[in-house]
Structures are given as structure tokens and as C-alpha cells.
Structure 1
Amino acid sequence: MKALAIGLMSGTSLDGLDICLAEFEKTDQWTFKILKAETLPYSGDWENKLRHSIHLSAEDLLELHTNYGFYLGSQVKDFVEKHHLENISLVASHGHTVFHQPKKRFTLQIGDGRAIRLETGLPVVYDFRSQDVLMNGNGAPLVPIGDELLFSEYSACLNLGGFSNISLQSNGRRIAFDIVPVNIVLNTLAQKLHKGFDENGDLARIGNIDETLLQCLNSLDFYKKKHPKSLGIEWCNEHIFPLLQDTDPLDALATFTEHIATQISNVMNENEIKDILFTGGGAYNTFLTEKIRTKTSSELIIPEKEIIDFKEALIFAFMGVLKMNNEVNVLASATGSKTDHCSGVIA
């Protein structure tokens, strides 16, 4: 069987909307080809709305949920027209995360899939996380199903986005969990220095590591917990940003980059990972990847730009295909839910 699917991903770092058209084919196993992909930067207005969505009243949040759905739909429609695309099977939308509190059994990704459907006329799969949270899972990470079926040649896959998450084989099953915040913190610190982000880690490279702060960061309880486990912006607001607020931004960048490298290499070393695929925006942070390399003997594989930038959007497209075929697209071993399941709402 073959399917053409468009995947949409908006990460917590708010660098834009990733849109990826891929062809999936299943013979003995699943294969994929990325046919078209681009990142559509948010306007200042949209970035501001999404960044502050966590503070909105219920009424305003519902309005944003609807409007953002129509925005996503219009971006897909423009993408289809621009590239003269035909025979698309479906659109799979992750949405934009506002709340993520699995212990309270809720998570919210805005961008109403029904609005995307109305705007594009295409079948839409959306809201991939809620069902898992209702099943006592973390609702994250979800990409391990793609790692398992599309990227199985690597011992492990690491995404360096707003948060870092890893997926690997352990005792015959795929486990996955969030490790440490990455761009959600680094970008915030860079913005204090009037930069959108710390390009190549150049700012962190000239800062000084605050050893006391580093020790406080490395001592946080989250890092001692066993998987499955996941992180959200709420956790950063409670545990990370208060620790950083009185430190010079350059030194905070240097210290937090060291903290990221320490936590990621700890996980790689504990799991004796042979080779690991690095994707997400943080894979371009050469200072961070250099630091990780010095702390581990694992081989770090940084793939072509297309995979770095669009692996998550690609996998959400794939999850949409699996949903339409009523196949498992969420692994309980990764999220901690009661059982593997087929998640997503179809519009």
C-alpha cells in the first residue's frame, strides 16, 4: 500500500510551522520519501498569540483554537497550490501545545482539525496526545513509533527541539522519554541578548559556567526519575527559569548548555548506545554537539538537513497514515499508557 500524507508540526520553540509532504509505502516494512517540506515562520502576531496562549481565559483560548485551525488549513491549502499537489491521502496535525499535565490526565494541542478539514477539503487526523493521557500515559513522546518503523537502523534517535527526547531499543521493546529542556530555555536566554536564538551555540561559547548553578540544575528531581517521563513548559516555569533569573544571560547560556550536554550524555552512557541519530533545531548547535561528543563514546550521526528539520512532521504524517489504517501508532513502552493503541481524531 502507498499513501501521500502531509504532516504539520509546531514546536514549543515557536520557530515556525513545519509542513512536510511524504510518500509512505508498505511492502515487507514501511519506507518513506520526503517529497516537499518547508518551515513557514510565524508572523510576530502569531508567535505572540501562541507564546502567551497559556495565560488566556477559557473563552479566548477556544477562539484561538478555532482561528489557529483555520490558519493551519490556509497554510496547507497554499502549500498544495504552490507545489501543484494531487492525490493527497490526508493531513496529520500535531497542533500547538498549550498545556501538558499528564498527571492530571489532560494535555491540550490547539488548532481545530475540523477547521483544517473545512479549509482544505482533505481528511485530517489531529489530537494525537489526549487519548494516551486518558489511558494513564504521558502523552509523550509519540515519535518512537516512527523511530521503530522508519529509522530502525540506528541504535537510538534523539530529538533536540524545545525539549530533548530519546527513543531506543531496550530488552526487545522501544522505550522513550524526555531528557532535558533545550531550545525552550536557550532561546529565552538568547532573547535577553536581543537574539532570536543562540546560533551555533556562539553565545554560550563565550559565557562562563557557573558551577553552583550547574550543580543545582543537575540535582533536579526529574533527572532521577525512571522512564517513562515527559516535560512541559509548566515544569520549566517552576523549576528552571527561577534558577536562571539572577545569572548573567551569557553565563546562563554557557551553564545551561553544559547542563544539557551532561544530561544527554548521561543517558547515552547509561544505555550504552552505539550510534544515535540527532535531529531537531538543536542539532545545528555545534557547541552543544561538541560538548556531548566529549562526554560519550557513542557515535553521533547528524543527517541531511531535510531529516534534521522535518523528522517530527514526517512522523506525524506517518502516524496519520497508521490511524487511517487502524494500526497502532502509540507505543505504551514509550508513553507509559496501559497498552499500545491507535490514537488521533479523524475529521
Structure 2
Amino acid sequence: MKTLAIGLMSGTSLDGLDICLAEFEKQNSWTFQILKAETLPYSKDWENRLRTSVHLSAEELLELHSEYGFYLGRQVKDFIGKYQLENIHLIASHGHTVFHQPQRKFTLQIGDGRAIKLETGLPVIYDFRSQDVLMKGNGAPLVPVGDELLFSEYDACLNLGGFSNISLRLNDQRIAFDIAPVNIILNRLAERLNQSFDNNGNLAKEGKIDEELLKKLNSLDFYTQSHPKSLGIEWCSQFIFPLLENREPVDSLATMTEHIAQQISKAINEHHSKNILFTGGGTYNTFLIDKIKSKTASEIIIPKKEIIDYKEALIFAFMGVLKMNSEINVLSSATGSTSDHCSGVMA
């Protein structure tokens, strides 16, 4: 039976809301087809509200949780109307991450799924991470279940978004872990130069690598930890942003880009992956990609635009389908939880 699902993804880089309608079918194995997809940029107001949400009081955050849920619902409703879509089985929403502290047993993705349901009248599955954190997992990365079941022809899948993460098979298990912050840092540095992002890495290309800063970045404890492990904005605020204060932004961009390339190539080379599927907005940073290619012998595969842009939204739609079928949609080998499980709250 074919299932039509809409996946919603809002990443830490705040470049917009990804909406992806896909058709899934299971015969011998799962197959998918992306039917419609688009990214809706946030207004300056919404971008600012989401960016500063970490500083809100409890009451203000609860209010934003509801408001953002209704906002998501309206965007989906408009998307359905625009393309005159019918027979959609479910909406799966990642929400927008405000807090992610698995070591303290909590993670928070705002955007109340019940509000999405009230706006659209469709079944909604949301809050995919909390259960894993309660089960002693990192609550991330979740995408590996899709890598395992939808993209198994690649040795590894690597996403370059707000953070970079990799997913691969090791000893007959799918493992995954965050590697380093990417756009969450690069975009902020570009903003200091009145650009919303570093287009093609052109700004970084003009800068000079600060060897002292590079050494400090590479010596951060996170990079010596074994998997599973994950990163959040709190980690950047504690360890990265202070290092970049009062430094020339162009040189910081050059240094940070080199740092990211070194950490990613190190992760690739340690696991001897022959071919790696690269997706996420950072894939368009040709300067970064060229740096990574120069540091590894692995084949880096850049897929068509719809996979680069919408793979995460696609996989959250898929996780919703798995949840609807009561099938495992979170892999403990990737997150470190006590067991594989079926996660998500149904509204």
C-alpha cells in the first residue's frame, strides 16, 4: 500500500521551513518518491523569535510553542491548497529545537502538533526526540533509520546543515554521530559581514587561516569522544562563540571552514567509507566541499537538488509513516538509547 506523507523540518541554521510531500511504499523493501517540496523562508520576525527562543521565560516559551504550531499548520494548509493535494495520510513534524541537553534527560522541539492538526484536519506525528532522551539516548541523530531503509546503496550518508552528522554501517549496525558545527557558525560569521550566508564559501576563500584559533578548535573535548554523540546550540555558545569573539570575521570564516573540513575528513577516513552521499545546505558551499575532497580518497556523491535540500524533511515524513505502522523508527546504535524503538507523539 502506498502512503502519502508530508514532512516538516526546521533546522538550527534558520534558513526556512522545509516542506516535503513524498509517497512511500513497502514491498520487499521501502521505496520513496518526492512529489512536491519547497523551502519557505522565515520572515525576519519569525527568524528572530526562533533564534532568541532560548532566552524566553517558561510562559513565553509555552506561548511560542502554541503559536509556532499554528504557524506550521497554516504553512501546510497553504502548501496543500497551492498544489491541490488530496489523500494525504499524515503530517510528520520535527519542530524547531530550542533546548537539547540529553545528559540532563531533556530536549525540546517547539511547534505543538495538536495545533498543526487543528489547522489542517490531518493526523500529525511530532516530538520524535524526547522518548529517545528518556531512554538514555542522545535524541539524535534520528535520520539514520532513513539512511538504512531508503539510502542503503551508499556506504555512508553525511549531512551538512546547522551541524554535520554522518551515518554508516559498522559491524552490521547503523551507527551515526554529529561531527562538527557547520552553518550554525558559518552563517553567524557571514552575518557580521552583512551576508545571510557565505555563498560558495567565497568569503572564507578571501580570509587567512588563524593557526592558533584552528588549534584551539581542533582540541575541543567533543572531537575525542566516541560515538554516539550529538551537538546543540548550547555547546556552541559555551565552546565556539567565545573563541570567535573580537576576531576578524573573514579570517574566522576561513579558519572555521578549514576546521570543519578537517573534522569531517577525519571522520570519513577513520571509517574507510568508499562512497558518501552528501546532503544539506552546506553541500552548496563549494569551497568547503573542495577542502573535504582534498583530504580524503573517498568518493563524495552530490545528488540532485531535491535530495540535497529535502532529505531530512523526507526522512521525518518516513519516520511518521513508520510510527503510523508501529514500526521501529529510531535506532539505538545511532542514538545510544537502551533499545531500538518507535518514537513520536500522535495528535
Mapping 1:197-276, distance limit 5 Å? 197-276=197-276
Q: Helix, strand or coil for the counterpart of 2:137?
A: coil
Counterpart amino acid of 2:126? Y
Whole-angstrom CA distance in 2 between matches of 1:193 and 1:268 = 32
The one-letter code of the counterpart of 1:298 is S
**SS of structure 1 residue aligned to 2:157:** strand
2:139 is matched with 139
SS at match of 1:328: coil
Whether 1:7 and 2:3 are equivalent positions in the alignment is no
Deviations 1:136-162, CA, capped at 9 Å, x for gaps: 000000000000000000000000000
Distance (Å, rounded) in 2 between the aligned partners of 1:272 and 1:158: 14
TM-score for both structures, normalised by structure 2: 1.00
**Distance of 1:297 and 1:176 partners within structure 2:** 21
Look up the SS of the partner of 1:209 in the other structure.
coil
Counterparts of residues 326-341 of structure 1 (less than 5 Å): 326-341=326-341
Q: 1:33, CA displacement in angstroms?
A: 0.1
1:321 corresponding residue in structure 2: 321
Q: Are 1:196 and 2:196 counterparts?
A: yes
- Separation (CA, whole Å) in 1 of partners of 2:251 and 2:308: 28
Secondary structure in structure 2 of the residue aligned to 1:303: coil
Q: CA deviation at 1:2?
A: 1.3
Aligned to 2:3, the other structure's residue is in SS state strand
Residue of structure 1 equivalent to 2:150? 150
What is the rounded CA distance, in whole Å, between the counterparts of 2:292 and 2:303 in structure 1?
A: 17
Partner of 1:303: 303
Establish whether residue 171 from structure 1 lines up as the match of residue 165 from structure 2.
Answer: no
What secondary structure sits across from 1:70 in the alignment? helix
Rounded to whole Å, the distance in 2 between the matches of 1:267 and 1:81 is 43
Q: Which runs of 5+ in 2 are unaligned?
A: none
- 1:47-86 matches, cutoff 5 A: 47-86=47-86
Report matched runs for 1:10-49 at 5 Å.
Answer: 10-49=10-49
Moved segments of 4+, more than 2 Å: none
- Could you tell me how far apart the structure 1 residues matched to 2:269 and 2:227 are? 16
TM-score by length of 1: 1.00
Amino acid at match of 1:41: P
Q: SS where residue 247 of structure 1 aligns?
A: coil
Give, in angstroms, the shift of residue 247 of structure 1.
Answer: 1.6
Q: CA deviation at 1:246?
A: 2.4
Question: Does 1:288 find its partner at 2:288?
Answer: yes
In the alignment, which residue of structure 1 is the partner of 2:183?
183
1:344 matched to 2:347? no
Q: Deviations over 1:250-280 (max 9, x none)?
A: 0000000000000000000000110000000
In 2, the alpha carbon distance for the partners of 1:189 and 1:133 equals 31
| Identical aligned residues as a percent | 76
- The answer to whether the aligner puts 1:277 opposite 2:272 as a matched pair is no
Amino acid in the other structure paired with 1:264: I
* Distance in 2 separating the partners of 1:66 and 1:242: 33
Structure 1 position 200, deviation (Å) = 0.3
Whichever residue aligns with residue 99 of structure 2, its letter is F
User: Secondary structure of 1:140's match?
Assistant: coil
How many residues were matched structurally? 347
Give the counterpart letter for 1:143 in structure 2: V
| Cα distance in 2, alignment partners of residues 126 and 155 from structure 1 | 29
The CA deviation string for residues 56-101 of structure 1, in whole angstroms up to 9 with x for no partner, is 0000000000000000000000000110000000000000000000
The letter for the 1-side match of 2:177 is F
CA RMSD, Structure 1 to Structure 2 (Å): 0.3
Amino acid of the structure 2 residue aligned with 1:75: Q
- Unaligned ranges ≥5, structure 1: none
